[in-house]
Amino acid sequence: MSRTPTQDAEASQATQNTQSAQGARSHSMIDSPVGPLALVTDGEALTGVFMAEHRHAATDRRGEAVALGDAAAVVRRAAEQLGEYFVGDRRIFDLPLAPEGTAFQQRVWAALQEIPYGETWSYGQLAAHLGSPGASRAVGLANGRNPISIIVPCHRVIGADGSMTGYGGGVPRKEHLLALERGEQPLFPATGGPVPS
């Protein structure tokens, strides 16, 4: 039995609606003191927070761009909570998260959320916390693949000597986030760019 073009269009729309209801990805952009952030969701949980220049950002997995006002509730809540964080009114995020990664990466990302606001741990401390004291390098690699920046605070991990090691969004952004958490003068103005010299 053949269908009319109208029936084909209705069937296509029904399929798209079903896919959306089952967690099609979308993202919304927000401004922040560290520049634009892409908030990615599967419709139920936050799956990514990516900076404009972000190593390992899965740009092909962000899905459709959606205006913040039309975004999933979790994205609107994330934008609100990030705003509170950047003005110093929030230390802990309360959002459903669903980062995609290996079992080991998931363990590392969960442990990152245990690092207290304003504190830093070395990769070795994080590895020891996970019960794998010899796994500093593997912990560092997993930390670098964290898809939910700021909310899963990979910026709180530093070198054993206290050095600012790499960060997916760049070391200046890592320094800014740590300075913010210590209550120091931020390195970036509200426009998101470097402070002019």
Q: Which of 75, 154, 177, 180 is catalytic?
A: 154
Per-residue tokens: 33: 């003191």
| 149 is annotated as an active-site residue | no
Alpha-carbon span 66 to 49, nearest angstrom: 15
Q: What angle do CA 176, 182, 186 make, to 5 degrees?
A: 35
Q: Are 64 and 24 in contact (CB under 8 A)?
A: yes
Which residues partner with 64 through β-bridges? 26
Give the chain's length: 197
Per-residue tokens: 159: 């070198």
Q: Are 143 and 104 in contact (CB under 8 A)?
A: no
Active site residues: 154
